[in-house]
């Protein structure tokens, strides 16, 4: 039985907490960096007058409901999982009941799949046919299948978590870079092998692939905003994206969606849409994934809803693929503000879906509990894991649209 996070707040406490939090918000930096070093620029000015309070009923009926039930008519609810949870029923019970989509946090990235020793040992046969291995996801794919959890595959092509040796003649770290032609062959081979293996071993389980991740970075990019600090860009050139999507479409089964995925989409909506235009014209892309690594100072309207509406209007499906909402310090007031932010975000996205403005397919939370988050210093997730227990935070109640969490942004 899960314990609820925190005690139910009285009217008085809510007001005290929120007012106490205002000084922190007001005094905070306008510019923050999330853990990728990506600048988050948007802030919301808090207003104390907007905080009515509703006592939590006891027992709270929300405790017996689940995220996937609450949003079953609107979109999937996903979670990113590292390897290592399967033996712990306290975790798997909650995952099974709450989520109907999952992403492997790191296990389906190129550095987890490519095998350097086998690539090097197999030369010249492996020169354009790199060796891959997907064994580490086996038990998780079984878990997903047994529990009706669809899998979103993250990610085929990315500048990060892709080994530098993959781009060299002899598959050595310091080796000479291969030509564009050879790298295009390796790209084709990698996508073909991974997608084919996934589809053969786990037919029907993967419902979408992130084909390319984070290729657009207007701040440090080329004239079109394409990220230059990427070996894909350096060795192949800016059209590596078009090839990646072309190959993915060639090998992915019909009905499996192909996504471009990126962070801070609200700061580069135009560049993303422009870069994807030829890929869309060729019919090789279905959706845009907005990562959603935000903090309580971000405006949901501007940081999430506006780009999602724009992407939808341009004919794309949309997902929020890596949602986490950071707080600078784990105070009760901040945890309440975080819960409010989760509530507002889910509410606005659902309303926009129902109005036909956002064609959203899934919202994925990037991790299960705070201490396992890649942003653990910012406690950004829906649960805490303490003394062998998984504890629902106020954030979980916010995401559940529990009326005890205010549906407003401060
Ligand atoms: C992160 C993982 O959560 C960490 O465990 C890993 O050390 C680094 O990558 N954007 C992405 C994700 O697309 O793959 C990243 O995941 C977070 C940023």
Domains of the chain, earliest start first: 31-399 (3.20.20.80)
CA of 405 to the centre of ligand 1 (A): 29
CA of 99 to the centre of ligand 1 (A): 20
pLDDT for res 157: 98
Q: What pLDDT score does 59 carry?
A: 80
Task: Calculate helix-pair angle for 332-354, 11-27, nearest 10 degrees.
Answer: 90
Element (DSSP H or E) covering residue 396: helix 394-399
- In the DSSP assignment, the letter for residue 176 is P
CA distances for 5 relative to 14, 66, 373, angstroms: 15, 15, 18
- 409 CB near ligand 1 (under 6 Å): no
Question: Per the structure block, which two tokens stand in for 281?
Answer: 């014209």
Which residue's CA lies nearest to atom 5 of ligand 1? 374
Query: Rounded distance, CA 190 to CA 188, Å?
Result: 6
Quick one: pLDDT at residue 55? 63
Beta strands in 339-395 (DSSP E): 360-365, 383-386, 389-392
- Look at residue 54 in the predicted model and tell me its pLDDT: 60
Q: Is the CB of 106 under 6 A from ligand 1?
A: yes
pLDDT of residue 76: 98
Give the ligand 1 atom nearest the CA of 293: 18
Alpha helices in 252-331 (DSSP H): 269-281, 300, 306-313
Q: Any catalytic annotation for residue 322?
A: yes
Give the H or E element holding residue 333: helix 332-354
Residue-by-residue DSSP string for 397-408: HHHTT-TTS---
- For the question of residue 42 being annotated catalytic, the response is no
Ligand 1 pocket check for 105: Cβ under 6 Å: yes
Cβ of 374 below 6 Å from ligand 1? yes
Q: Which helix (H) or strand (E) holds 287?
A: strand 287-290
Query: Peptide bond preceding 59: is omega within 30 degrees of 0, i.e. cis?
Result: yes
pTM higher than 0.85 = yes
Give residue 54's Cα distance to chain centre. 32
pLDDT of residue 398: 97
Per DSSP, the residues of 170-200 read: TS-TTSPBPPHHHHHHHHHHHHHHHHHHHHH
Any ligand 1 atom below 6 A from CB of 210: no
Rounded distance, CA 234 to CA 225, Å? 14
Tell me the CA–centroid distance for residue 120 and ligand 1, in Å: 27
- Residue ranges of the chain with per-residue pLDDT less than 50: 1-52
Considering only CA atoms, which residue is closest to atom 7 of ligand 1? 374
Q: How far is CA 333 from CA 46, 76, 171, in A?
A: 13, 29, 52
Secondary structure class of 117 (helix, strand, coil)? helix
CA 228 to chain CA centroid, nearest Å: 23
Tokens of 283: 């019919």
Q: Is 264's C-beta closer than 6 angstroms to any atom of ligand 1?
A: no
Phi-psi region of 388 (alpha: psi -120 to 50; beta: other; left: phi over 0): left
Q: How far is the CA of 106 from the centre of ligand 1 (A)?
A: 7
Nearest-atom number in ligand 1 for the CA of 373 is 3
17, containing H or E segment: helix 11-27
Q: Is 364 helix (H, G, I), strand (E, B) or coil?
A: strand
pLDDT of residue 42: 45
Tell me if 198 sits within 8 A of 155, measured CB to CB. no
């Amino acid at each position: 039985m899960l314990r609820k996070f925190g005690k139910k707040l009285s009217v008085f406490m809510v007001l005290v907490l929120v007012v106490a939090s205002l000084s922190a918000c007001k005094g905070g930096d306008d510019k923050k960096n999330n853990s990728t070093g990506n600048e988050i620029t948007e802030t919301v000015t808090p207003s104390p007058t907007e905080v009515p309070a509703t006592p939590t009923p006891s027992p709270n009926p929300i405790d017996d409901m689940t995220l996937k039930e609450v949003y079953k008519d609107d979109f999937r609810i996903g979670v990113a999982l590292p390897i290592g949870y399967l033996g712990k029923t306290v975790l798997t019970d909650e995952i099974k009941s709450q989520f109907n989509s999952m992403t492997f946090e790191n296990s389906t990235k190129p550095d987890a799949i490519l095998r350097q020793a086998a690539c090097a040992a197999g030369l010249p046969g492996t020169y354009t046919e790199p060796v891959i291995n997907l064994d580490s996801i086996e038990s998780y794919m079984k878990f997903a299948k047994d529990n009706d959890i669809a899998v979103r595959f993250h990610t085929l092509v990315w500048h990060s978590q892709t080994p530098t040796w993959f781009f060299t003649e002899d598959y050595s770290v310091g080796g000479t870079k291969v030509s564009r032609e050879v790298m295009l062959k390796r790209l084709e081979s990698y996508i073909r092998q991974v997608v084919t293996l996934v589809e053969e071993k786990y037919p029907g389980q993967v419902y979408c692939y992130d084909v390319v991740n984070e290729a657009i970075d207007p701040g440090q990019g080329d004239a079109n905003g394409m990220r230059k600090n990427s070996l894909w860009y350096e060795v192949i050139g800016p059209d590596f994206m078009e090839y990646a999507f072309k190959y993915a479409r060639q090998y992915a089964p019909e009905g499996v969606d192909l996504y471009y995925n990126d962070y801070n989409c609200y700061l580069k909506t135009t560049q993303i849409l422009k870069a994807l235009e030829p890929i869309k014209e060729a019919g090789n892309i279905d959706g845009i994934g907005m990562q959603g690594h935000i903090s309580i100072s971000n405006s949901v309207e501007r940081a999430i809803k506006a780009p999602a509406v724009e992407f939808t209007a341009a004919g794309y499906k949309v997902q929020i693929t890596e949602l986490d909402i950071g707080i600078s310090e784990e105070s009760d007031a901040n945890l309440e503000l975080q819960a409010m932010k989760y509530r507002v975000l889910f509410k606005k996205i659902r309303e926009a879906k129902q109005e036909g403005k956002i064609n959203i397919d899934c919202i994925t939370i990037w991790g299960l509990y705070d201490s396992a988050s890649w942003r653990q210093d910012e406690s950004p997730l829906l649960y805490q894991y303490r003394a062998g227990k998984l504890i629902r935070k106020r954030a979980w109640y916010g995401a559940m649209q529990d009326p005890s969490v205010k549906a407003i942004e401060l």
